[in-house]
Amino acid sequence: MVPNRPNISFLSSPSPPLFLVMCCLVLFFSIGTAEGSSDTFGITTLPFFDGFRPLFGDANCAPSMDGRGVSLLLDRFTGAGFISSDMYQHGFYSAKIKLPSNYTAGVVVAFYTSNGDVFEKTHDELDIEFLGNIRGRKWRFQTNVYGNGSTQRGREERYTLWFDPTKNFHRYSILWTPDNVIFYVDEVPIREIKKVAMGGDYPTKPMSLYATIWDASDWATSGGRYKVNYKYAPFVARFTDLSLEGCSVEPTVVKSAAAVEDICFDAVARLRSRTFSGVTSARRTAMRRFRQRYMYYYYCYDSVRYPVPLPECIAFDPIERARYHDTGRLKFGGSHKRQSRHSVDSGPVDYENSYDQADAR
């Protein structure tokens, strides 16, 4: 959510603890017929300082001993963040992340691409944001897409996770090509949006990769009902096995869109040839099952917010649409639990009622 990004400053905690040992036990989960519980994407990772640098809260940005990861801390003084050293015109951005445990209401961990510091009025952005949690409840997160300054036309989708993201590392990835954007959890595609459908709001300009942890007490958990409790600080988000694949460009030097496309032709061709660049039939089945079971807000069905549908929302499944309120939220009366073969769509729970009217705007 762009309007609520933290103010980036270099104020930091006087003496935060350093986390010197990182446990990197990776547990992959598949949804239905998702391809591969192993790393079939063939992702190339890089050491932290080979591709990134601290963004703010330097003392709360603690590199791992092996140099391949970093811990970001939020305490009562500041959060923390890092940014890629270069900007990329299209790319695959990925990291294994372990979220902070215990009571984390109001704490947002974000993994996203943006160019807002370069293109202030026409910026592009692709978001994965984890929205804090209360012990015993399922973790919630959202994805969003902005292009060419379309921040007033948010395209949020909100979901729950089918695993505990505080127990083990899981891979979260964003693919951005000239044709489509795909969000992945492990190797399960959870959302795809195509340029041909999105039109002029589709992201088009070079972006940096960011990761941040910050206090979003005013909106993140149950619409701001539950605040950050610093009794449980520091809150620690761990990142490892980071990956950046794409076309590195400097937009202040290469100003022509045609010139950028020419420079990036080979890199984009390599992206398009990778396993993660397309959604196979098996992965599309996995994505559909994920969205049936775990998506609880869909902007395309929010006719209160958008009386005139956005261009990619004109065509929709009427059976799926019937499961949602006009506010875009899931109706009451079902379960996200495993469904029988004879009832593919029994309807997930109504989180609007079951979780204190969570995420109310």
Establish if 141 belongs to a structural domain.
yes
Establish if 360 belongs to a structural domain.
no
CA-based nearest residue to 208, from 52, 97, 70, 54: 52
Give Cα separations from 299 to 1, 303, 321, 329 (angstroms): 14, 8, 11, 9
Establish if 37 belongs to a structural domain.
no
Contacts of residue 167, Cβ cutoff 8 Å, sequence gap at least 6: 27, 98
State the average pLDDT over residues 169-177. Answer: 97
Q: Do residues 212 and 80 lie in contact, with contact meaning Cβ atoms separated by under 8 Å? A: yes
Indicate the pTM of the whole model: 0.84
* Residue 351 in this model has a pLDDT that exceeds 50: no
Q: Which amino acid is at 118?
A: V
Q: Which amino acid is at 181?
A: V
Question: pLDDT band for position 270 (50/70/90)?
Answer: very high
Quick one: 50 and 183 in the same domain? yes
Quick one: 266 and 304 in the same domain? no
Establish if 314 belongs to a structural domain.
yes
Quick one: 301 and 215 in the same domain? no
**Cα–chain-centroid distance for residue 323?**
24
**Of 282, 311, 333, which marks where a domain is finished?**
282
Establish if 38 belongs to a structural domain.
no
Establish if 163 belongs to a structural domain.
yes
Quick one: 103 and 231 in the same domain? yes
CA gap 330, 301 in Å, rounded: 10
Range of the domain at 339: 286-354
Give me the phi and psi of 348, to 5 degrees please: -70, 170
CA-based nearest residue to 300, from 319, 279, 326: 326
CA gap 290, 259 in Å, rounded: 39
Q: Do residues 5 and 14 lie in contact, with contact meaning Cβ atoms separated by under 8 Å? A: no
Quick one: 269 and 319 in the same domain? no
Annotated catalytic residue 125: yes
Give Cα separations from 184 to 17, 37, 65, 323 (angstroms): 32, 13, 28, 24
Q: What is the pLDDT of residue 251?
A: 81
Q: Which amino acid is at 329?
A: R
**Of 256, 282, 308, which marks where a domain is finished?**
282
Establish if 221 belongs to a structural domain.
yes
Quick one: 169 and 307 in the same domain? no
Catalytic residue among 35, 129, 156, 157: 129
**Of 254, 282, 310, which marks where a domain is finished?**
282
State the average pLDDT over residues 290-313. Answer: 96
Quick one: 176 and 278 in the same domain? yes
Q: What is the pLDDT of residue 6?
A: 59
CA gap 95, 238 in Å, rounded: 10
Establish if 322 belongs to a structural domain.
yes
User: What is the helix (H) or strand (E) element at residue 291, kind and residue range?
Assistant: helix 281-294
CA gap 250, 253 in Å, rounded: 6
Phi-psi region of 277 (alpha: psi -120 to 50; beta: other; left: phi over 0): alpha
**Mean of the per-residue pLDDT values for the chain?**
84
29-43, 121-135, 219-233: segment of lowest average pLDDT: 29-43
Catalytic residue among 35, 125, 312, 352: 125
Quick one: 276 and 231 in the same domain? yes
Quick one: 267 and 309 in the same domain? no
Residue 327, beta-bridge partner list: 302
Quick one: 345 and 237 in the same domain? no
Q: How many domains does the chain have?
A: 2
Quick one: 201 and 252 in the same domain? yes
Which strands sit side by side in the sheet containing 107-114, from one edge to the other?
52-56, 80-84, 208-215, 107-114, 125-130, 140-146, 157-160, 295-302, 327-329
CA-based nearest residue to 130, from 159, 103, 151: 159
CA gap 269, 349 in Å, rounded: 42
Q: What is the pLDDT of residue 354?
A: 39
Residue 243, beta-bridge partner list: 94
- Ordered DSSP codes for 81-146: EEEESSEEEEEEEEEEEE---S--TTEEEEEEEE-TTT-SSS--EEEEEE----TTS--EEEEEEE
pLDDT tens digits, one per residue of 19-68 = 333 333 333 333 433 333 347 899 999 999 999 999 999 999 999 999 99
Structure tokens at 343: 């009832």
CATH code where residue 134 lies: 2.60.120.200
Quick one: 54 and 75 in the same domain? yes
Annotated catalytic residue 192: no
State the average pLDDT over residues 163-171. Answer: 97
**Cα–chain-centroid distance for residue 177?**
16
